[in-house]
Every structure is written in C-alpha cells, then in structure tokens.
C-alpha cells in the first residue's frame, strides 16, 4: 500500500470526521460539568456517578444483558447448525438463501409480524418474547457468517474423521466445530452487539414491566436528553468497541490456528 | 520387450509381474457386480475386481470414469446401489465407515487444521481408546516411517505440500489398516517431488506390508508404482492386468490408446491391431528390411524430442506397392532412443515384426 497523497489525506480526514464527530461530541458532553450541550462548564465525571445511581438504567441494562446473552447463545447454536445443514443437504438455491430474510427485511416488518404472532399465540409479552425475537434475526446473521467460513473449510474433514474411526457426533464435535470456530465466534459476537442496541423489535415485542436499555434511553430522551444518558452512551460505545476489537483479535488468533 | 528394435540390451522386466491375483480363491478385497448411479448417470457399472493381500493396486482412468466413487464405496463414505464387496470374505457394505479396517488418504489430505501434526496422526488411535503410551509410541513410529520425525509439534499450516502429504500418510498407516486407499495421492505435488514420492510410496508399501489401492488419472504414475492396474472407463472395467501386460497386450482400443501412445492398424477384414511406437524401426529408404519384417514407405513429418526418447511422426505412403501390410493409418508414430538423425522431409521405410501387432477388441 502506498501512502496517500495530501489530497487523499484531506479527503480521508473529512470522511472520518463526518463519521466520528457526533460520537466525539457525545463523549465530550458526557464529561461536561454543566450538563448542557450549549456551554462548557468544566471537566467532570459527575454524570457517570449519576448514572450509577439511576435505577431505571440499571434495570434496563440487566434486562438487555439477559436478552443479549440468551439470544446470542440460542442464535449461535441454531445458526451454526442451519449453516452446516444447508451446505450439506440443500441443493435448491431458493431454500439455500431463504435463511437470510430475517436479516435483510426491515426491522419494522419483522417487529409487527412478531407482535401479531405472539398475540395470535396468546404469548405473554415480556423479556422472553424479546429474547425469542432477537434469536430469530440474530440466527440469520450467524448463519451467514458461518456459511462464509464453511466455504473456506475442506469439506472432507468430517469424512476423514469418520474414516479414522470416529462416530458421526464425535466427528462433528471434534473436527467440524473446531474448524468452524472462527466463524462461529464472529457470528456470536455479531449477534451480541446486534441484540444489545436493538430497539424497534424490542419496542414491539416487549411487555410494559421489563424495558431493555434502548427502551429506557428512549423513554428518558422523550423529555429532553439528560446528561447522564450521554455518559451511558459513552459507556456503551466503550463496551461495543472492546467487543469488536476482541472479535477481530480472536478471529485472527483462531484463524492462525486454523487453515491458510 | 526384449526384442524391441529400439531398446538396449538390458530391458526392465519384473519377474513377479502377474495379471491375476496369486490366490484367486481368497482375495483380500472382492468386488462383484458393484453398481452406483447418481440420478441418470451410471458411475459404476458391474465392476468386478479382486485385490489380494500386500498388493499395490491402481485404479486408473480419465476423470469421471468412476474410480474415486469406487474408492469412496470401499471406504464406506458412499454406498453401492448393487453388488457385493467383501473383505476376507466378510461383507464390507454392511459395515459402517468408522468400523472398517480400511483407511483413505484424501486427495486434499483433509488434515485437521486445528490440531498439530502429532495430534492429527494420533486421532485414529485415540478413537480406538488406545493407552496413551501406545499412542505416543505408534505416532512416533509412523512419523519416522514417513520421514517426519521431529516435526510432531508443527501446525499444519507451517508445512509444505510434500510434508502435508506425509502427515496424511502417517495418519492413515498408523491405524494399521488392512487396506490403504489413496485418492490421487500425488496430484497436488510438483513434478520433482512427485517422482520422488512415487518411489517412497512403493518403499513404504513394502515396509508396512499394507495393501495399497491407488486412484490416479496419470498412467505413468500407475505404471511405475502398481503391481496390477484396473483401467476404468465410464464406470466399467476395461482391463485388469500388470503394467507390462497392459502395455504389451492391451485388451481394448481404449486401453491401447490410454496407456502410452500407439498406432492403430485396421486391415480390411474388420480386425483391429495396436502397434506400439517402441516396436517400430526406421530404416533409410535403400536399406533392406530383415526377413519376415513388415515394411512400409513413409516420409518424416515431425520429430518431438523428449530427452531420452524421440517420437517421430511419419506419413505413410498408402500407395506403396512394396507395403507388406494394408490397413496402416495415414500417419505412424515411431519411438527412437535419444535424438535422431532423420529430419522432416526424409524418405524412410518403417519396419516392424508381425508378432508385435496386438489384436484388440473394437
């Protein structure tokens, strides 16, 4: 790669500024003593203190983590099995790509559809219905990521394990899963980050007593942005950055263990 | 081949060459009427092959002839639609893949990327729940046999293509299978390493005393390694014989043309003869042929020099009144040792002995 020209650097600078200025403003304001977007009252961490005493936020965070962890576990299992099953048994190109629908269809369509389904099934809305709904669309993403990995893995590996005397289950657990591990891990982390900040589907499929964090933020913001929400957003930013960076690091690590 | 006109005094003959298994009543692996269809495509059509113990057997044919399908069926990774396969007289088809005393070396090697060399080789023994000490000893021995001692801790992605192939071999032989199946074992290697590995596979087979069944599309590879070869075409066995017999007495036109180069003679009586380029002699136009030899006037058209041997293509003079045989093709290939003194455009006489014309089925 050659170094960019001065023009290229300016271009790059403006593009990155466009992408990151809103986030930097947010992080900056979270340390603003005055709590106002219009005047700088000096550096302070007091809004982070406020945040830690905000029971609504604590409650929302707990609910969001329950949903995100549960949906990630279920979606990773379903998505991995679906990807492997499709690659082995499906020859029809329509069915082969139909799994992706929940990932690409507008959230609002999925949300309304899920609400109708839960209502029709007389399913009480609450964290369970949110968790199941998140599992649905996260599984589609996991499937897509694991399928990509499958294309880079020698299809004979599992047959080789069987040939060496392993049972079908043993070959799957000892050979197929480890060779897919980078894809499964990447899919799981993607599912987790998608679930944590998902709002539309949670808004439609959640009950009134257990709002997720995005719902808590939304109901707070309706009456004007409170400064501790800035602090919360900054914390979420930090968390998702750590997740993304560790995902990259892990993917590189497992890939170096894996093929190529 | 001892009287081939172009050969030197010492010709390679293998005394142990045999065209049928030594112990026909008790083959190690017996295949009778094996059938396999994929939809409308017949991959294997009534395949009958007997393979005896300690044999280096090759399944040879162009791509799509069914040789890999047959290998997968023997390994248990695919099921035949009909016919029977027995190992030491016991039904093999009913036995699941992981119970068969048969191991397959995959064309892609199928090494486990998340395990190091040692653990790849140990995989099969661990599935047999062998004691740790035994596993360690046998893995060490297997790595030594294939010349990889000291590399046990390496990751697969740190190995060269040749080393990967050796790991795949070690992983298969460490189980001490009755039969080792090898699918295009040398296909992924450079030509230099390939020739070296041909000899090594031969040596290995003697050393470990396991029956090898090698699938290949490369006739030179099959000829140089195998004790016997089954030539397959469109799912059918064309001929099963030693390399020497396949070359000297091909049963069908396909075999004659697939194994080495040949010239087809079609006399008017509807019969068909194969005449190997190696059995032909080129004489200058004014030389008298030896008694009893057939002759035909011809003109040199093209010479391909391969180093040790040259292939000289001559255009036959079909109106030659002295021609002692009719039915020669318009052009004939003659193999000559080393470089040649003839040049394109030279008038020559092609000569051969009648006994080298091999009649084959159409």
Task: Provide mean pLDDT across the span B130-156.
Answer: 93
pLDDT in tens, A5-17: 888 899 999 999 9
- Which residue reads 């379903």 in tokens? A78
- Which residue reads 């390496």 in tokens? B154
Give how far B199 is from chain A: nearest CA, Å. 25
pLDDT in tens, B262-286: 888 887 777 888 889 988 888 887 7
A166 close contact with B: CB closer than 8 A: yes
Task: Classify burial at B108, counting beta carbons within 10 Å of its beta carbon; exposed 0-12, middle 13-18, buried 19 or more.
Answer: middle
DSSP B61-93: -STTSSHHHHHHHHHTSS--SEEEEEETTEEST
Neighbours of B192 (CB within 10 A): 9
Whole-number Å distance between alpha carbons of B67 and B61: 7
Residue B84's nearest CA partner among B38, B27, B42, B41 is B27
Q: What is the pLDDT of residue B9?
A: 45
The chain-wide mean pLDDT, for chain B, equals 86
Task: Judge whether residue B7 has pLDDT over 50.
Answer: no
pLDDT in tens, B180-235: 999 998 887 888 888 888 888 888 898 888 999 999 999 988 998 999 999 999 99
- Which residue reads 């066995």 in tokens? B237
Q: Which of B3-12, B39-48, B124-133 has the lowest mean pLDDT?
A: B3-12
Interface A:B, Cβ pairs < 8 A: 67
Radius of gyration (Cα) for chain B, nearest Å? 24
Q: What is the pLDDT of residue A259?
A: 41
A-proximal residues of B, 218-237, CB under 8 Å = none
Q: What is the pLDDT of residue A200?
A: 95
Whole-number Å distance between alpha carbons of B228 and B56: 7
pLDDT grade for B5, boundaries at 50, 70 and 90: very low
Task: Judge whether residue B139 has pLDDT over 80.
Answer: yes
Q: Which of A222-231, B47-56, B107-116, B150-159 has the lowest mean pLDDT?
A: A222-231
Task: Provide mean pLDDT across the span A152-156.
Answer: 86
CA B179, distance to chain mean position in Å, is 17
Task: Provide mean pLDDT across the span B98-104.
Answer: 92
Task: Provide mean pLDDT across the span A145-156.
Answer: 89
Radius of gyration (Cα) for chain A, nearest Å? 22
pLDDT in tens, A85-111: 999 888 888 988 888 888 889 999 999
Whole-number Å distance between alpha carbons of B314 and B344: 9
Q: How far are the Cα atoms of A26, A47, A64, A239 from residue A228, in angstroms, in the given order?
A: 11, 5, 18, 17
> Facing residues of B311 across strands?
B304, B335
Q: What is the pLDDT of residue A258?
A: 46
Query: Would you call B77 and A166 a contact, using CB atoms and an 8 Å cutoff?
Result: no
Whole-number Å distance between alpha carbons of B47 and B30: 10
Q: Chain B partners of A170 at a C-beta cutoff of 8 Å?
A: 127
Task: Provide mean pLDDT across the span B64-83.
Answer: 93
3-state secondary structure of A192: helix
Residue B59's nearest CA partner among B195, B207, B200, B179 is B179
Residue of A49 and A2 predicted with greater confidence: A49
Task: Provide mean pLDDT across the span B25-38.
Answer: 89
Question: Which two tokens mark A69?
Answer: 């962890």
**Most A-contacting residue of B39, B77, B97 (CB-CB within 10 A), to test interface:** B97
Q: What is the pLDDT of residue B254?
A: 92
Give how far B326 is from chain A: nearest CA, Å. 54
A181 close contact with B: CB closer than 8 A: yes
Q: What is the pLDDT of residue B10?
A: 52
pLDDT grade for A127, boundaries at 50, 70 and 90: very high
Contact (CB, 8 A) for B357 and B274: yes
pLDDT grade for A256, boundaries at 50, 70 and 90: low
Whole-number Å distance between alpha carbons of A89 and A96: 9
Q: What is the pLDDT of residue B31?
A: 95
Query: Would you call A162 and B77 a contact, using CB atoms and an 8 Å cutoff?
Result: yes
3-state secondary structure of B179: strand
Q: What is the pLDDT of residue B326?
A: 66
Q: How far are the Cα atoms of A110, A117, A125, A128, A129 from residue A212, in angstroms, in the given order?
A: 18, 21, 13, 12, 12
| Percent with pLDDT over 70 in chain A | 95
């Amino acid at each position: 790669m050659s170094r960019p020209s001065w023009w290229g650097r300016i271009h790059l600078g403006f593009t990155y500024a466009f992408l990151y200025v809103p986030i930097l403003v947010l992080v900056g304001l979270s340390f603003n003593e005055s709590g106002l977007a219009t005047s700088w009252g000096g550096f302070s961490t007091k809004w982070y203190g406020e945040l830690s005493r905000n029971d609504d936020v604590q409650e929302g965070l707990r609910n969001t983590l329950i949903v995100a962890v549960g949906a990630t576990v279920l979606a990773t299992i379903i998505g991995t099995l679906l990807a492997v099953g499709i690659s082995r048994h499906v020859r029809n190109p329509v069915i082969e790509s139909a799994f992706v629908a929940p990932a690409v269809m507008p959230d609002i369509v999925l949300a309304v559809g899920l609400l109708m389904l839960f209502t029709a099934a007389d399913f009480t809305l609450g964290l369970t219905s949110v968790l199941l709904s998140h599992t649905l669309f996260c599984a589609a993403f996991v499937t897509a990521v694991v399928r990509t990995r499958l294309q880079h893995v020698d299809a004979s590996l599992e047959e080789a394990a069987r040939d060496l005397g392993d049972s079908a289950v043993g070959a799957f657990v000892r050979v197929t899963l480890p060779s897919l591990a980078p894809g499964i891990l990447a899919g799981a982390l993607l599912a987790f980050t998608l679930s944590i900040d998902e709002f539309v589907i949670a808004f439609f499929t959640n009950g009134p007593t257990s709002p997720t964090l995005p719902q808590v933020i939304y109901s707070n913001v309706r009456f004007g942005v409170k400064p501790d929400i800035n602090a919360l957003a900054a914390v979420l930013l930090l968390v998702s950055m750590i997740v993304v960076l560790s995902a990259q690091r892990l993917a590189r690590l497992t890939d170096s263990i894996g093929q190529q | 081949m001892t009287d081939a006109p172009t050969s030197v005094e010492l010709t390679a003959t293998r005394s142990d060459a045999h065209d049928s298994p030594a112990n026909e009543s008790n083959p190690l692996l017996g295949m009778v009427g094996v059938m396999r269809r994929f939809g409308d495509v017949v991959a294997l059509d009534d395949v009958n092959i007997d393979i005896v113990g300690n044999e280096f057997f090759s399944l040879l044919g162009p791509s799509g002839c069914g040789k890999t399908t047959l290998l997968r069926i023997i390994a248990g990774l695919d099921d035949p639609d009909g016919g029977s396969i027995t190992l030491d007289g016991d039904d093999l088809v009913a036995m699941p893949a992981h119970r068969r005393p048969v191991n397959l070396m995959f064309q892609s090697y199928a090494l486990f990327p998340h395990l190091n060399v040692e653990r790849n080789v140990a995989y099969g023994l661990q599935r047999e729940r062998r004691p740790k000490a035994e596993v360690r000893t046998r893995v060490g021995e297997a790595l030594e046999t294939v010349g990889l001692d000291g590399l046990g801790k390496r990751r697969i992605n740190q190995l060269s293509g040749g080393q990967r192939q050796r790991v795949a071999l070690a992983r298969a032989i460490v189980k001490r299978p009755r039969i080792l199946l090898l699918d295009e074992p040398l296909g992924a290697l450079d030509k230099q390493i390939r020739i070296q590995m041909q000899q090594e596979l031969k040596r290995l087979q003697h050393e470990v005393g396991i029956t090898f069944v090698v699938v290949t599309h490369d006739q030179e590879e099959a000829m140089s390694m195998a004790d016997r070869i089954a030539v397959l075409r469109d799912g059918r066995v064309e001929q099963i014989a030693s390399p020497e017999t396949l070359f000297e007495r091909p049963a069908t036109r396909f075999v004659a043309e697939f194994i080495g180069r040949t010239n087809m003679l079609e006399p008017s009586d509807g019969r068909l003869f194969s005449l190997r380029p190696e059995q032909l002699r080129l004489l200058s136009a004014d030389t008298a042929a030896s008694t009893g030899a057939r002759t035909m006037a011809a003109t040199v058209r093209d010479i391909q020099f391969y180093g040790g041997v040259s292939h000289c293509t001559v255009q036959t003079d079909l109106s030659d009144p002295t021609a002692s045989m009719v039915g020669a093709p318009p052009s004939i290939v003659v193999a000559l040792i080393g470089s040649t003194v003839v040049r394109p455009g030279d008038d020559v006489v092609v000569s051969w002995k009648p006994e080298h014309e091999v009649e084959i089925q159409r």
